[in-house]
Amino acid sequence: MASALIEDPRTTLYRRKLAGLLRRPSCRWISFAIGTTPIHRRFFESVAVAVEGLPTGEVQHQRGISHRQVQYGVRLRISASGGDHAAYDAERDLLIVPGASAFDTLDGQATLVSACVHLGLDLEGRNHRRLDSECAARIAGHLYRIYETVKLDEDGPALTEKLQRLAPTSQDDEPFFDVAAEIVRHCGATRRANTRSYPPQPGSFMRIVRTDRRARLHDLLLGDALRRDHPTRSPAPGIIPRASRFLALQALQPAARQV
């Protein structure tokens, strides 16, 4: 059996908070496809499971301390630099995250969602077209911000005013936000049109980004100095979703022994 290291309790707590974030209704509503990268209804739940891990054995009690062995789908490192940027390193199967204060702001939560898009695509074996992956990550981050702020059936001046407040100040981010806003508007219109018959449920609505919009976003990324972020694996013939697994020992709180 592979050996397992004792995980820092701060990392364990961060994993749980991140998994909870990925299970929020706003993430469940994120559903779209751009090129080769679909973000579907089960996407973020699969990422949450990889981050949170699955117990692989009974709780062990040694010297007054209780541990349980957990199998993770990704390594996680909390950055010590104090920045607010999250990133996924596919070569090392490593999710690099900012401090826990990222959970306190909408933008901090959105950067975590964006990084987890890269992780989720890697888990599914779809993280091999860099431009599509980066587009999907940026659009998903903006969708999260919008869904956390607007009501699903909101329309008219109220929706327009909120979208204006959420619009990014960076001109480089604006085209990705515009795609996200278009997805939200179309989803809302679909819900209103089907209120009495079969209104869309979280994840049941998928918007496909038009090829001309995709081409424009690709052009923007090709001229972006950030294009070196989020390294991806080299595609191989017959590629299948990766099966990386990492074992760790979680220290349990005394109250958790009775769960």
pLDDT at 33: 96
How many alpha carbons fall within 13 Å on the CB side of residue 248?
22
Instruction: Reply yes or no on whether the pLDDT at 199 is more than 70.
Output: no
Instruction: Reply yes or no on whether the pLDDT at 201 is more than 80.
Output: no
Please answer whether residues 122 and 242 qualify as being in contact, where contact means their C-beta atoms are separated by less than 8 angstroms. Answer: yes
pLDDT at 239: 46
Cα dihedral 205, 218, 242, 140, rounded to 10, equals -40
pLDDT at 256: 41
Q: Shortest CA distance to 112 belongs to which of 213, 192, 24, 206?
A: 24
* 80-107 tens-digit pLDDT: 876 789 999 988 999 999 999 999 999 9
Residue 95: helix, strand or coil by DSSP?
A: strand
* 108-165 tens-digit pLDDT: 999 999 999 999 999 998 867 899 999 999 999 999 999 999 987 788 888 999 999 9
pLDDT at 230: 45
Please answer whether residues 232 and 90 qualify as being in contact, where contact means their C-beta atoms are separated by less than 8 angstroms. Answer: yes
Instruction: Reply yes or no on whether the pLDDT at 238 is more than 60.
Output: no
CA distance 90 to 234: 10
What are the C-alpha distances in Å from 89 to residues 75, 183, 228?
Answer: 10, 28, 11
Residue 139 backbone zone (phi > 0: left; psi -120 to 50: alpha; other: beta): alpha
* 59-71 tens-digit pLDDT: 877 767 788 888 9
- Give residue 27's pLDDT band: very low, low, confident or very high (50, 70, 90): very high
Please answer whether residues 36 and 129 qualify as being in contact, where contact means their C-beta atoms are separated by less than 8 angstroms. Answer: yes
- Give residue 195's pLDDT band: very low, low, confident or very high (50, 70, 90): low
Report the range of poorest mean pLDDT among 6-20, 134-148, 183-197. Answer: 183-197
* Mean pLDDT, the chain, whole residue set: 84
* 44-62 tens-digit pLDDT: 999 999 999 988 877 877 7
Output the CA torsion sign for 14, 18, 20, 21.
positive
Count of beta carbons in the 10 Å neighbourhood of residue 64: 6
pLDDT at 226: 46
pLDDT at 190: 78
User: If you search the block for the tokens 């390193």, which residue do you land on?
Assistant: 89
Longest pairwise C-alpha distance within the chain: 63
| pLDDT top residue among 152 and 230 | 152
* 28-41 tens-digit pLDDT: 999 999 998 999 98
The predicted model scores a pTM of 0.84
pLDDT at 59: 80
